[in-house]
Structure 1
Amino acid sequence: MSDTAQAVEGEDDGDPLSSAVVPTVGTVLAALTAAALAIPARAGTDELALWIAAVGALLTTGLFLTRRHELIERRIAGPVAAGSSLLVVVLSGYAITQGVYGSVVVPGLEWSISLLFLAFFVGAGTVGLGVAEFAGVSGRGLYRRLALSLELLVLGVIGLFGISIAQLFLSLPVVLTGAELSALQGRLIEYLSFGLGLGAVAAGYLAFRDHDLSFIDLETPTRWTVGWIVLGLGLIFGVNLAISSLMSAAGIEGSSHSLTQDVIDQPELLFVIVPAMVFIVGPFEELLYRNIIQKSLYGTFSRYGAVVVASVVFTLVHIAAYATAGAGQILASLSLLFVLSMILGVLYVRTANLLVPALVHGLYNAVVVLMIIV
């Protein structure tokens, strides 16, 4: 059996309680998703997608419930439950991009909660549970995966703090002298802080986990490497174009990155931004999110399971950068970002060379930024 399969199979330790954890949790979450979709649908929300998604959530509930009582094989229940849950995620996400939130007020607390966002995120969780059930993951295995995923999500968030702290450190001499930075100088410090902050966090985690520099997969480029970089660039631009066209045809609008308006207002910033994307942003983000976070998941998840989890972390950490529009637009942009992140993750899996996703990421960002003023 391959190392990929070993990471996810054969975990049922024979404890009936442990083996029942995944379908039990799946039943609860799928039922919660179905309720979150049914309430706005019954309230008269004019969106067919909600009804179809609710049916998908009910199907998922039934599959997990029958699997809980061993009335159906896990190799049938798992994939079908994952597929129906994915349908729920897609349809509820589509409804959100159309401005349907299904908000309700919590009695006594006066908090407004979007039931559609609840369905979207809980539905995403049931996709993972469907895959876990198919793979025969035990209760202990599920806990181990959740704990590691949370740890690495925290690491991603710490990366943001690392950037802020590095920026404060690099800006301190200027602040103490009372001088004013030009826009170009400020942007230069920002990107130097980006590299310093993410690099320090990556180094700190390597030390925390007792890894040395051999953990970093950096190899001398060859013609094979160049071929993968060219293929990766073609794939990432092609997928971006295809998804953007599909979203446009469906009437889905995305939000712009917070960098967009700065480039429009001050095109001269490109003299700093473009090189920084290639030599700082791409390499250091890929160092943290692919070489550190994704690779750290390999011992617990399958290789491609690690790609998905690392892409979830990458996407969640970028929420603030795309918070320039409404919730639906932010969700649309983050969904595209998630897909592009998975492409970078697959490139890393296939090459085991940080250089490939780093350059694909950096060059992609640089071209996208240049296209803002074209």
Structure 2
Amino acid sequence: METPSTSTSSYQRDDGPVRATLVGIGLTVFGLLMANVLTTPAFLFDPALLEGLGNGSIAGRTLALILNFVGMFLAGLLYLLATGRGLAWIDLRIPSRRDWKYIVAGGVGSLVFLFAFNIVTTLLEVSAAESQIMEIIGGDQTMILIMIVVVFLFNAPAEEFLFRNVIQKRLYAAFTRMQAVVVASVIFALVHFPMYVAFADSLLSTLASLTVMFGGALIFGYVYAKTDNLLVPTAAHAVLNAFQFTVLYLAIEYGIEEVQAEPATLAEVADAVWTVAVALA
């Protein structure tokens, strides 16, 4: 495993920006393909998933989610092995005191970003698009609790590994670190474009959701670039998503319908937190 000092010295801009960006896009497509291929056993296990993820059993939905993120992780791992980078390319170590500061900064920063973004979209009367997560959850509290576990063990680790430790780090060969953070964040946001187009009621809603994805990716990419430790953005990412699902769980528990309407969209988290807090007061 690499330490921040050794990994920094190994990043040399010896690749063209166009080629590096295309590699990043290619890795993203490969990750999506691997995710789709690996979810096949889930559909064989529970054919009801073919009619929609929300129609499957809890076991089927859980298996599909896990295999989806395992596929994403395998895509990044296969790339490292195929290109000779190997496991030494993975920046993984026990967080230092400095790393913990960035974990906190990343988690708090992403929440602050969401609150600020919500204020802006509220003033502009623009709502973010829903996501497929609502279809998967289907208003089931048990599924929400499972989602929290999946976020910590599979979702955040897989996405941060592929988009930060593989794609962003690969971009260091052609860009400065901060430029690589921006390019990787654009790629990450665009990955969600098809999903938000399908669930959005307008182009503005789609753009709002993509902006949230881009902003979150910038924060996670930045803390990774400053620490060279995969656990830092992974922890910050997991905490953010777990917070969202916790708010949704409380909304369903206390029957707060206005929060349940779009509880999984990041731009609505601030309103959801406030509504839940008022209900519990």
Normalising by structure 1, we get a TM-score of 0.58
Aligned to 2:217: 341
Aligned to 1:229: 103
How much has 1:363 moved relative to structure 2? Answer: 1.5
How much has 1:269 moved relative to structure 2? Answer: 0.8
Give the 3-state SS of the residue equivalent to 1:162 in structure 2.
helix
**Structure 2 letter corresponding to 1:276:** V
Task: Give yes or no for the alignment of 1:280 onto 2:160.
Answer: no
**Aligned-partner Cα distance in 2 for 1:234–1:168:** 37
Aligned to 2:229: 353
How much has 1:148 moved relative to structure 2? Answer: 1.9
How much has 1:306 moved relative to structure 2? Answer: 0.3
Aligned to 1:169: 41
In the TM superposition, 1:1-374 aligns within 5 A as 7=13, 144-172=16-44, 183-263=57-137, 265-323=139-197, 324-325=199-200, 326-373=202-249, 374=251
Aligned to 2:5: none
Deviates more, 1:311-320 or 1:340-349: 311-320
Give the 3-state SS of the residue equivalent to 1:372 in structure 2.
helix
Give the 3-state SS of the residue equivalent to 1:193 in structure 2.
helix
**Aligned-partner Cα distance in 1 for 2:136–2:72:** 23
How much has 1:3 moved relative to structure 2? Answer: 7.2
Any idea what the Cα deviations from partners look like across 1:113-157, whole Å, max 9, x if unmatched?
xxxxxxxxxxxxxxxxxxxxxxxxxxxx8xx21222122112102
Contact persistence 1:4–1:302 (CA under 8 A): no
Contact persistence 2:131–2:196 (CA under 8 A): yes
Contact persistence 1:304–1:346 (CA under 8 A): yes
Where do 5+ consecutive residues of structure 1 fail to align? 9-140, 176-180
> Aligned in 2, Cα 1:370/1:257: closer, same or farther, shift over 3 Å?
farther
Larger Rg: 1
> Aligned in 2, Cα 1:5/1:164: closer, same or farther, shift over 3 Å?
closer
Contact persistence 1:4–1:303 (CA under 8 A): no
Normalising by structure 2, we get a TM-score of 0.76
**Aligned-partner Cα distance in 2 for 1:353–1:319:** 28
**Aligned-partner Cα distance in 1 for 2:160–2:10:** 22
**Aligned-partner Cα distance in 2 for 1:189–1:261:** 15
How much has 1:4 moved relative to structure 2? Answer: 11
**Structure 1 letter corresponding to 2:29:** V
**Structure 2 letter corresponding to 1:228:** Y
How much has 1:194 moved relative to structure 2? Answer: 2.0
Equivalenced residue count is 234
**Aligned-partner Cα distance in 1 for 2:209–2:45:** 37
Aligned-pair identity in percent equals 28
**Structure 2 letter corresponding to 1:368:** Q
Give the 3-state SS of the residue equivalent to 1:153 in structure 2.
helix
> Aligned in 2, Cα 1:244/1:300: closer, same or farther, shift over 3 Å?
same
**Aligned-partner Cα distance in 1 for 2:95–2:178:** 24
Contact persistence 1:264–1:372 (CA under 8 A): no
Contact persistence 2:11–2:172 (CA under 8 A): no
Q: CA RMSD in A?
A: 2.4
Give the 3-state SS of the residue equivalent to 1:265 in structure 2.
coil
> Aligned in 2, Cα 1:367/1:298: closer, same or farther, shift over 3 Å?
same
Deviates more, 1:354-363 or 1:317-326: 317-326
> Aligned in 2, Cα 1:223/1:3: closer, same or farther, shift over 3 Å?
closer
Where do 5+ consecutive residues of structure 2 fail to align? 1-7, 48-54, 252-281
How much has 1:327 moved relative to structure 2? Answer: 1.7
> Aligned in 2, Cα 1:3/1:305: closer, same or farther, shift over 3 Å?
farther
Contact persistence 1:293–1:310 (CA under 8 A): yes
Higher RCO (C-alpha under 8 Å, 6+ residues apart)? 2
**Aligned-partner Cα distance in 1 for 2:27–2:11:** 26
**Aligned-partner Cα distance in 2 for 1:241–1:173:** 40
Deviates more, 1:153-162 or 1:283-292: 153-162
Contact persistence 2:129–2:206 (CA under 8 A): yes
How much has 1:7 moved relative to structure 2? Answer: 4.0
